[in-house]
Each structure stands twice: as structure tokens, then as C-alpha cells.
Amino acid sequence: MAFAEYPVQSLMYITNRPELVFTEGKGSWLTDHNGKRYLDFVQGWAVNCLGHSNQAMIDALVDQSKKLFNPSPAFYNEPMLKLAKQLTDASCFDKVFFANSGAEANEGAIKLARKWGRKHKNGAFEIITMDHSFHGRTLATMSASGKAGWDTIFAPQVPGFPKAELNDLASVEKLINDKTVAIMLEPVQGEGGVIPASREFMQGLRKLADQHKLLFIVDEVQTGCGRCGTMFAYELSGVEPDIMTLGKGIGGGVPLAALLCTAESPASKPATRAAPTTATR
């Protein structure tokens, strides 16, 4: 089938695409409509952690499809419970909320932090994020991101995301005020240029959060699930965040993401570990 025969005009424009249509993928290779093969260094923008058409994933998807698709989040389902326990057993967190994408998980983290701010910080809602960061393409996560030009694309932005500099603790500290509820960052900035937060910076953020009774949020959509040598990148710094988000690698190419948080503590305990466990709506 020639490229001109494909109904590309039916797709909404989002970016310039080359005139080829991928029809198959196996491992690290993609094949287009002309049968030409390409070594795929993109892998769905860092999504396909096991490559294309991994047999173990195919088998798992087929087996589950014969049992149950989606009974709705209003009910428990067996895979949900098993995965939630695996994630809490492997991390410092107690509760899990599942979503479809990393942007949704980050949106949930923002909502969770603001809910916590109403309960524990007199309505504080500002979340300090980092310049050059990337947290997603929803309105709130674009506002949280520090990508150049994103402040005008869909203006006005969602308020409440002052920007600090990665690995500059003083730049974070000077932004903290009575409206601040959390600090949020990628342990390794992805679209910002693959720039890691230093161990000292991560530990300094944890201390600042404890000192000012703030939530410490790590966006591990790209770094989580073993991609930095440990299961989660925060482990490399010897810190325990209050909230973590996962995406990309957790689903290996299918729509899956997760928001994790510590259990809600009694009001008599320090507010730094008191992230609410209620889901995000």
C-alpha cells in the first residue's frame, strides 16, 4: 500500500511526521509500509522497556483478556491488587493509585498535594518545580514543567508552580513561603538533557521539606522501574519521598501509570509524612 493511500488527513496535526507508516515491530526493530527496517532508538519515547512485541507481554495481555478487561475503578480486580502490593513491597510507599499515563499520575500528585495542603497547611497549594523539567502535557503538568516557551502555548498557565534550579538548594529555599505545599522534581531530568539531581541536592530537599513541613514528590515516570540501577531512582540518594509517580516502563508500551504515597498519619505526627491516601477525584 502506497503512503498516499493512507488516510493521514483524518489525523489531527500535532507534529511534523515523515511520510512512512510503521506496520510491525520486533524487539529493537521497526518495519514500515515498504518493508524497510529501522533500528528503533526511540521505543515510543522511552516507553517500550522490553522492546516491540515482547512474547511475555503478549502472553500476559492475551491471558488477561480472556478473563477480564475493566470492571471499573469502583471495584477491586485481582491484577490491580497484586500490582499494588508489588509496588508497595518494593518501595517506601504504602498506597497506590493507578492511571493511564505519566501525565495523569503527575496530575494526581498535584491534586493530592493540594488536598493535603488544605488539610494540613492552611490551604497552601504552591509546588516548587525545576527549570527545564518535564512533567506531562496536561494543563497543570505543562504549568509544572520548566520547558522554555510552555508558559505561552496554552496561556494562561495553571498558577502555583514557581521554578527553582536543579542542584541549587538555595534557589529552592528562597521560593518557600506560607503558600508552599510541596517540592517536585525528576531525579534525572529527561527532556531537560538527561541531567541527574545530585545525592546532596536530593538529601537537601528532603531536609528542607521536613524543616518546612512540605511534601517531597519525585516524578519517576522515566527513571523508575529499574532504569537507574535500582528499582527507583530515589533510592540512589538515600532519601524517602512522600509521593512518587511512575509511567512508561511500568507498562512497557501499554497504558499504565501509578501514583504512590505514604499512608496518612494521625494529626499528632509530623505533617511531612501525612500524604492523604484518598484517590485523586
Establish if 278 belongs to a structural domain. Answer: no
Which residue in 98, 201, 219, 242 is the catalytic one? 219
Name the strands in the sheet holding 22-26, side by side, starting at the edge strand that comes first in the sequence. Answer: 22-26, 29-32, 37-39
As a whole number of angstroms, the distance between CA 23 and CA 108 comes to 34
The reply to whether 28 and 81 lie within a common domain is no
- Residues paired with residue 259 on neighbouring β-strands, in sequence order: 97, 245
The reply to whether 137 and 226 lie within a common domain is yes
Specify the pLDDT at position 263.
83
Establish if 249 belongs to a structural domain. Answer: yes
**Cα 40–41–44 angle (5° rounding)?**
75
The reply to whether 118 and 201 lie within a common domain is yes
pLDDT tens sequence across 236-262: 999 999 999 999 999 999 999 999 999
Nearest to 236 by CA among 226, 247, 248: 226
Establish if 281 belongs to a structural domain. Answer: no
Residue 270, pLDDT > 60, answer no
- The residue-averaged pLDDT of 160-172 equals 98
More confident: 153 or 278 = 153
CA distances from 104 to 7, 36, 100, 196 (A): 30, 35, 7, 23
Establish if 165 belongs to a structural domain. Answer: yes
Report the mean per-residue pLDDT for the chain. 93
- The residue-averaged pLDDT of 95-104 equals 97
The reply to whether 172 and 126 lie within a common domain is yes
Specify the CATH number for the domain of residue 196.
3.40.640.10
The reply to whether 26 and 146 lie within a common domain is no
Specify the pLDDT at position 78.
96
The reply to whether 151 and 77 lie within a common domain is yes
More confident: 269 or 74 = 74
The reply to whether 18 and 115 lie within a common domain is no
- The residue-averaged pLDDT of 115-140 equals 97
Specify the pLDDT at position 264.
64
Please give the residue range of the domain that contains residue 171: 72-273
Specify the CATH number for the domain of residue 38.
3.90.1150.10
- The residue-averaged pLDDT of 65-73 equals 93
Domain-terminating residue out of 60, 91, 108: 60
168 assigned to active site: no
Establish if 187 belongs to a structural domain. Answer: yes
The reply to whether 131 and 232 lie within a common domain is yes
Establish if 175 belongs to a structural domain. Answer: yes
pLDDT tens sequence across 203-229: 999 999 999 999 999 999 999 999 999
Share of the chain above pLDDT 70, in %: 94
The reply to whether 108 and 242 lie within a common domain is yes
Establish if 153 belongs to a structural domain. Answer: yes
Specify the pLDDT at position 171.
98
The reply to whether 158 and 268 lie within a common domain is yes
**Nine cell digits for residue 52:** 516491540
Which residue in 93, 134, 161, 201 is the catalytic one? 134
Share of the chain above pLDDT 90, in %: 91
Establish if 199 belongs to a structural domain. Answer: yes
Q: How many domains does one find in the chain?
A: 2
The reply to whether 30 and 82 lie within a common domain is no
The reply to whether 240 and 260 lie within a common domain is yes
248 assigned to active site: yes
